[in-house]
Structure 1
Amino acid sequence: MVLALVEHDGGAVDDISLEALTLARDVAAGADEALEVIAFGPEAEGVAEEVGAYGADVVNAVDHDALDAYAPEAYARAVIQCAEATGTEAIVAPGTDRGAETLAHAAAKLDVSMAAEVIDVEVGDTYEITRQRWGGTLTEHAELDAETNLLTVAANEISASAAGGEPADVSAFAPDLEDDDTRVQLTEVEESDVEGVPLAEARVVVSGGRGTDGDFSEIESLAGDIPNAAVGSSRAAVNEGWRPHDDQIGQTGNKIAPEIYIPCGISGAVQHMVGCKGAENVLAVNTDPEAAIIQKADYAVIADLHEVLPAVEEELESRGHA
């Protein structure tokens, strides 16, 4: 059996978990095994219909008073116990902070290797995996060969696709936890005071870097006129104190996958490109024709962003799109 860890918000499975579930379904098919899901939280059973559409037969809804809040060691122990109870040969998790942390703890407890940022799996005598390294700048081919193979799926690299299955059966799973398992746990969630579309969900992202000289007014104005658009920034802009860390795109910030990404006054360092490599199209605005981001963009405008963006906004308005 193959077990997929899914994250959800009130029973609605998040996009990266659906990507992980899609790969887990392929792994299960290659191994000729059933696919089941493990989900945490009081509304875990609510994922049954959605994960069933992606091929899962059963939702193992974790039921434990100590797990109303996220606790990485407790999550890991619950995942291990569920895997043992169901005879799991592989555990697939989304490439999120929680997914990676949970499987890292599970790997330590099981004393096995964990493969992170996986984008493809060929199942045979061993698991032949393809995964990203160094923020996606390097692709590695490796083998996993353990009694229980653990892997996380690289975000925004696999197209989530439903299989049209019936709603999954729900089975309550009560793990046997130890006191130390909850010594580290989530105690409070502080909501961002930034309004608008979250970067990870935006269809259009307009961002700025050092070339803005701290003036994001045109960037904010353009993003505000485009439906489902968000403002982003480079690490340099965050370091200068011009934008909050929530806006940062890159290896140590947000990973985005919009239909179009418009970086303005951003040089295009490798770390930044890691965060936006999921974009379908990149339109770079920069005064330097030799900037790295110009070489990596699908389209480029070599000009001052403070002149270009108002012109773009004016054109959108003339066409009735703003």
Structure 2
Amino acid sequence: MIDILVLAEIDGEAISPATLEAITAARALDGTIHLLLCGSSMDAEAVAEVAGQFGVETVHVAENEVLDVFSPEAWGQALELAIDEISPDVVLASGTSKGNEVLAHAAARLDLPFVANCTQLTADLADHEVALTRIQWGGSLLEEALLTADTRIVSIAHHALEAEPLGTDVADIEAIEMDIDQLYARTHVVGREMAEAGVTLATAPIVFGGGRGVGSAEAFAPLEELAQLLGGRVGCSRAVTNNGWRPHRDQVGQTGTRIAPELYVASGISGAIQHWVGAMASKKILAINTDPEANMVVKADYFVEGDLHKVLPAVIDEIKSRRT
């Protein structure tokens, strides 16, 4: 039996969906799963209740006020101390910006191997090996590898698998008092901006993406209207944010948000590999484009060949007519 330590990320007042995906991936290793909760500002009992349902045996609460606010350096030191305390065979986190950064700090401090953006894990207890599959070349290649170190540090690509609960168990809670060096907490949260009301780009059931082909910031109005009509969210490609048409928080891609909606409508998007990495977990993709050979069109489930400035208004009119 091996021990797996998962780093918890908190989304609002609950364990993030990305962390639940990492816990689900950990179950494939058929070991004892521990969860590290940094800071004491969260309700540990509420976390233990949810974590237990996904197979976590113990929630370890790293108690230090420095950890109450996210700092990659401080959380990295906390993870280092937790690894020394628990001696896990595998350390996991979601492959989010936070998860990857904290794992990188801990791996560097402990001189341990770190493999990012994995989609699958299996363990060979006899040979003390962990086999993994990871995303390479911007999502165009899946690589299989073996990790043979005493402690392996791995991040799980966000949306690589579905988070699946097991039952109704509640995890145990153990407090770990940590002496965190204030000097390591060099990065601090200096302010927070409330997100717009409604679904987020990462959780929206429908995402309406626009690329360079949309033409201008003002031309995103039909996508905004469709998102409002159907309860979705507007996303965009990197070219759009580079042109200043949309804020970075709307960017879908390798350096933006990875999405997994039921439907992704990609309008005027060529489908560069960096964008595809963020969109490839979508259940269905509909591409609207004038170029039938565009990468996004080739990879889409459905394709409408035409001018998006004519297609989108026609779709809006049809939706409104059916609702009257």
* 2-structure distance, mates of 1:48, 1:207: 37
2:130 is aligned to 127
Answering whether residue 223 of structure 2 is matched by residue 219 of structure 1, we say yes
* 2-structure distance, mates of 1:307, 1:246: 27
* 1-structure distance, mates of 2:17, 2:60: 19
1:206 is aligned to 208
Aligned partner of 1:2: which letter? I
- 8 Å CA contact retained: 1:206, 1:230: yes
- 8 Å CA contact retained: 2:51, 2:171: yes
Residues 200-245 of structure 1, C-alpha deviation per residue, up to 9 Å, x if partnerless?
Answer: 1110011211211111121111111112x00111112222222111
1:278 is aligned to 281
* 1-structure distance, mates of 2:203, 2:120: 24
1:311 is aligned to 314
Aligned partner of 2:115: which letter? A
* 1-structure distance, mates of 2:156, 2:102: 13
* 2-structure distance, mates of 1:48, 1:134: 37
* 2-structure distance, mates of 1:51, 1:218: 41
Change (3 A) 1:171 1:49: same
Taking only the aligned residue pairs, the percentage that are identical comes to: 41
Which SS does the other structure have where 1:183 is aligned? coil
Which SS does the other structure have where 1:82 is aligned? helix
Question: Where in structure 2 are the equivalents of 1:2-41 lying within 5 Å?
Answer: 2-27=4-29, 29=30, 33-41=31-39
Question: Where in structure 2 are the equivalents of 1:112-261 lying within 5 Å?
Answer: 112-124=112-124, 125=127, 126-192=129-195, 194-214=196-216, 215-227=219-231, 229-261=232-264
Aligned partner of 2:245: which letter? W
**Alignment TM-score, normalising by the size of structure 1:** 0.93
Aligned partner of 1:186: which letter? V
Residues 102-146 of structure 1, C-alpha deviation per residue, up to 9 Å, x if partnerless?
Answer: 110111111111011111112112111111112222211111111
Aligned partner of 1:172: which letter? A
Deviation at 1:189, TM superposition (A): 2.5
2:83 is aligned to 83
Deviation at 1:160, TM superposition (A): 0.8
Task: In structure 1, list runs of 5 or more residues that go unmatched.
Answer: none
* 1-structure distance, mates of 2:308, 2:247: 21
Deviation at 1:10, TM superposition (A): 4.7
Aligned partner of 1:159: which letter? E
- Between stretches 279-288 and 83-92, larger displacement belongs to 83-92
RMSD of Structure 2 on Structure 1 (CA)? 1.6
Which SS does the other structure have where 1:223 is aligned? helix
* 1-structure distance, mates of 2:155, 2:194: 26
* 2-structure distance, mates of 1:272, 1:292: 10
Q: 1:293 aligns with which of 293, 296, 299?
A: 296
2:268 is aligned to 265
* 1-structure distance, mates of 2:58, 2:106: 21
Deviation at 1:82, TM superposition (A): 1.6
* 1-structure distance, mates of 2:273, 2:181: 43
Aligned partner of 1:240: which letter? N
Deviation at 1:197, TM superposition (A): 2.2
Deviation at 1:9, TM superposition (A): 3.0
Aligned partner of 2:215: which letter? D
- Between stretches 309-318 and 259-268, larger displacement belongs to 309-318
Deviation at 1:94, TM superposition (A): 0.9
Deviation at 1:282, TM superposition (A): 0.6
* 1-structure distance, mates of 2:43, 2:109: 25
- Between stretches 304-313 and 181-190, larger displacement belongs to 181-190
Aligned partner of 2:208: which letter? V
Residues 181-203 of structure 1, C-alpha deviation per residue, up to 9 Å, x if partnerless?
Answer: 223333333334x4542111110
Aligned partner of 2:23: which letter? L
Q: Number of aligned residue pairs: give it.
A: 315
Task: In structure 2, list runs of 5 or more residues that go unmatched.
Answer: none
* 1-structure distance, mates of 2:307, 2:106: 50
